[in-house]
Amino acid sequence: YPADELMPLTCRGRVRGLEPSRGDVDDALGKFSLTLIDTLDTLVLLNKTTEFEAAVRKVLSDVRLDNDIVVSVFETNIRVLGSLGGHSMAVMLKGGGQHMQWYQDELLHMAKDVGLRLLPAFNTSSGLPYPRVNLKHGVRGPETRTGTETDTCTACAGTMILEFAALSRFTGDPVFEAHARRALDFLWEKRQRNSNLVGTTINIHSGEWVRRDSGVGAGIDSYYEYLLKAYILLGDDQFLQRFNTVSHYASIMKYISQPPLLLDVHIHKPLLPARTWMDSLLAFFPGLQVLKGDIRPAIETHEMLYQVTKKHNFLPEAFTTDFRVHWAQHPLRPEFAESTYFLYKATGDPYYLEAGRTILDNLNRFARVPCGFAAMKDVRTGSHEDRMDSFFLAEMFKYLFLLFADVDEVPFDVEDYIFTTEAHFLPLSLSTAAHSSPITLNTTPGMGRPPLRAQDFMANNPEHLELLRRMGVSLIHLKDGRVQLVQHATQVNTDHVFVCLQ
């Protein structure tokens, strides 16, 4: 601190401009103490409340946003604007009456400042954002490359809606949500109409696909994630239809998913494989399938990823269909831990604790160094890189902690929040629209079953709640003596839910 990242081998902070450039990776570093901001809500989850309070004070007093520096719009959104997760935590703690009593929405104001600095990127005829923006000058600054860029990745343009909608709903200013929606609408329009798939890279001016390969990993991954999660957070059926009913998911399962493998295809010739290797980012996909309620293929793909992990200690950045290394580095990515956590929650199967144990042991054995955890330069030799990305603390720590924590060891109910792609917490209460199909307990489930009584539920039997959670349903609020449940998975069998409650 106050550097953006830790260099765990040399025990220094990484300050952009003072270290040799690493290319695009450095676009996450905006001289805004990235790692501390990205880690705020991790501190709360780990019950480090005093440390959280001190960290928020540091961020508010020291971090500047008007830096003359070009940053990635995508990374700045998910990692810095995602500090809204810290805002939610601050508000929650303040309500507890002990900590953060001085807090007056300062993190929210900061998030809005970030949002306003990202908005100029959306000034394109398509509405798709430029991939990079200068924090001080927007896209027309002295740096020539920002305003002249033509291409962006699908995930880069399609992973704004959760943070931007949260920002709009927290602040009452609709401009952010409107821009994120417009970009999503454009991507939807541009899907290949026969295969219903999207490409990996798109021209932000013409809307033409630049790279027409299609998978669920690098370049596309969180676009799909945000369609489903936008539905869950915002309750807008349109997002679910795009993800699920009409289109994308069915096409993924038809063309890309070859259980246990997930292999890229061409959007125009979806039966034609585009490559014979997989990238490590697709390891998030089983977790998304759990959220959707499609457990079986999630289990199969996760098992494949576990075998690759056991073979190489970590998931290599890319690996072949016969599990050989294709790209040997591993920057401590959290996606496999994320899927492991969601599968454990869905199944309760201790097998996933064993998988989590493998992740944890390998991190301690191979990546831990005196100053932190070092990225693997080559998983085959165990050599290190002087690099510890902020997502390691923001995501890996959260998912591993949650995997092993008992309910009474978690300081708040994570079921009240949705995880962003950077594992920040956004409160489900942000949804203003009623959920499309809320299940209320005083309705009759049919087939002669008696209506359920809300007071049975109010007894608050934790085992019932836990069972419901495993089914992808959670309790959202009590109103007029009625209990409302919200589906997190889209294929919830309501009969099972009622059986469970009874």
Ligand X SMILES: *[C@@H]1O[C@H](CO)[C@@H](O)[C@H](O)[C@H]1NC(C)=O
Whether omega for the bond prior to residue 273 falls within 30 degrees of 0, making it cis, is no
State the nearest-atom distance from the C-beta of 229 to ligand X, in Å: 26
For residues 123 to 152, the per-residue mask of contacts with ligand X, x marking binding by CB under 6 A and - elsewhere, is x-----------------------------
Nearer to ligand X, 54 or 250 (CB): 54
Is residue 264 part of the annotated active site? The answer reads no
Q: Could you say which of 317, 338, 386, 389 is catalytic?
A: 317
State the nearest-atom distance from the C-beta of 414 to ligand X, in Å: 12
State the nearest-atom distance from the C-beta of 491 to ligand X, in Å: 32
Going by C-alpha positions, the residue among 486, 337, 491 that lies closest to residue 416 is 486
Residue type, 233: L
For residues 400 to 429, the per-residue mask of contacts with ligand X, x marking binding by CB under 6 A and - elsewhere, is ---------x-x------------------
Count of Cβ atoms closer than 10 Å to residue 491 Cβ? 11
Nearer to ligand X, 180 or 346 (CB): 180
Nearer to ligand X, 133 or 388 (CB): 133
Is residue 317 part of the annotated active site? The answer reads yes
Is residue 335 part of the annotated active site? The answer reads yes
When binding is defined by CB under 6 A, the residue of 30, 115, 120, 131 that contacts ligand X is 120
> Does position 47 bind ligand X by CB under 6 A?
yes
- For residues 389 and 375, what is the distance between their CA atoms, to the nearest angstrom? 8
Q: Could you say which of 5, 26, 75, 213 is catalytic?
A: 75
Nearer to ligand X, 120 or 127 (CB): 120
State the nearest-atom distance from the C-beta of 409 to ligand X, in Å: 5
Nearer to ligand X, 45 or 501 (CB): 45
- For residues 125 and 135, what is the distance between their CA atoms, to the nearest angstrom? 21
Q: Are 296 and 253 in contact (CB under 8 A)?
A: no
Strand-pair partners of 125: none
- DSSP per residue over 283-345, as a string? GGHHHHHHHHT-HHHHHHHHHHHHHHHHHHSS--SEEETTS-EEE--B----HHHHHHHHHHH
Count of Cβ atoms closer than 10 Å to residue 437 Cβ? 12
Q: How far apart are the first and last CA of the chain?
A: 53
Q: Is 421 annotated as a binding residue?
A: yes
Q: Could you say which of 41, 221, 279, 385 is catalytic?
A: 221
Q: DSSP assignment, residue 99?
A: S
**What six digits make up the tokens of 389?**
């990305």
Contact positions toward ligand X, by CB under 6 A? 47, 120, 123, 409, 411
Residues annotated as catalytic are 75, 221, 317, 335
Residue ranges for the known binding site for Ca(2+) are: 421
